[in-house]
Amino acid sequence: MPNKTPFSIEFFPPQTLEGVEKLRATRAQLAVLQPEFFSVTFGAGGSTQARTFETVFEIQREGHQAAPHLSCIGSTRDHIREILLRYRAEGIRRIVALRGDLPSGVGDPGELRYANELVEFIRAETGEHFHIEVAAYPEYHPQARSPKDDLLAFKRKVDAGANSAITQYFYNLDAYLHFRDECERLGLSVPIVPGIMPIVSFSKLARFSDACGAEIPRWMRRKFEAFGDDSDSIKAFGLDVVSELCARLIEAGAPGLHFYSMNQAGPTIALCERLGIGQVNTRQG
């Protein structure tokens, strides 16, 4: 029997024509799995935003559900209203609402400073048209003053009208389970979907994790370091670790999985094959 766990896949907007073509090929491979939706990240800079629109609209016109990220930092209500109108016109029904990071050298945080204000604005402007996803941080946001402050910030997003959440990636199952329990104690019942980062290069993962505050457990770090430059062993061990994490999350009742593809098809396909989710499993059966 195929595993019916719902899942989604995230891309970042390509910055070159070559990148556009590569992402089209990647998307064609991943579309066979039939994810619930493809999300596309969104930068606070003008050119990045334009690339996001192009990617989102192309996904939607291919017949897939696109879920654009929308950040409010450094923006205005009028600009966000204009984006929402464009998305409605294209038939977009899902948005990932984020605060975002202020671009380097820009001092004005804009008219909406926090993600809960963005969620509230989207609801005021569009009612229930959009399914709104927000971010969650099982290991707590690196800028949060305390775990309690971070949980209360998440509660404000839910209270403002968020339908569900996607987490920052993590490799510590207990962190997710503890965060979920804490949310339940606050009376929050929205689905909290684990964000899953496949492991292809440990050096890149280590840099990225150090920057965003995601912990790599010491036992994992030591094992990866012991492989040195043996990329095949790193990929094989990474697949073992992440697929086991996903299986345990599914067993623990996670409402789905959200794969950070890094615009590559292979790692996500390998995980889906290992887990038996998506159309890979039924095609082989």
> What's the rounded mean pLDDT across residues 194-207?
95
Beta strands in the chain (DSSP E): 7-11, 38-40, 66-71, 94-98, 131-136, 164-169, 192-196, 257-260
Quote the mean pLDDT of the chain: 92
CA distance 199 to 218: 16
Q: Are 149 and 120 in contact (CB under 8 A)?
A: no
Task: Note the pLDDT tens digit of each residue in 258-280.
Answer: 999 999 999 999 999 999 998 75
Task: Note the pLDDT tens digit of each residue in 151-186.
Answer: 999 999 999 999 999 999 999 999 999 999 999 999
Which residues does the annotation mark as catalytic? 10
Q: Are 52 and 43 in contact (CB under 8 A)?
A: yes
CA distance 197 to 193: 13
Q: C-alpha dihedral over 74, 214, 26, 22, to 10 degrees? A: 60
How many C-beta atoms lie closer than 10 Å to residue 261's C-beta? 24
Q: How does residue 210 score in pLDDT terms, banded at 50, 70 and 90?
A: confident
HSE (side-chain half, CA atoms, 13 Å) at 242 = 30
* Amino acid in position 174: D
Task: Note the pLDDT tens digit of each residue in 97-111.
Answer: 999 876 665 566 778
* Amino acid in position 242: V
Q: Are 194 and 176 in contact (CB under 8 A)?
A: yes
* Amino acid in position 161: G
Structure tokens at 196: 């899953």
Task: Note the pLDDT tens digit of each residue in 220-256.
Answer: 999 999 999 999 999 999 999 999 999 999 999 999 9
pTM for the whole structure: 0.94
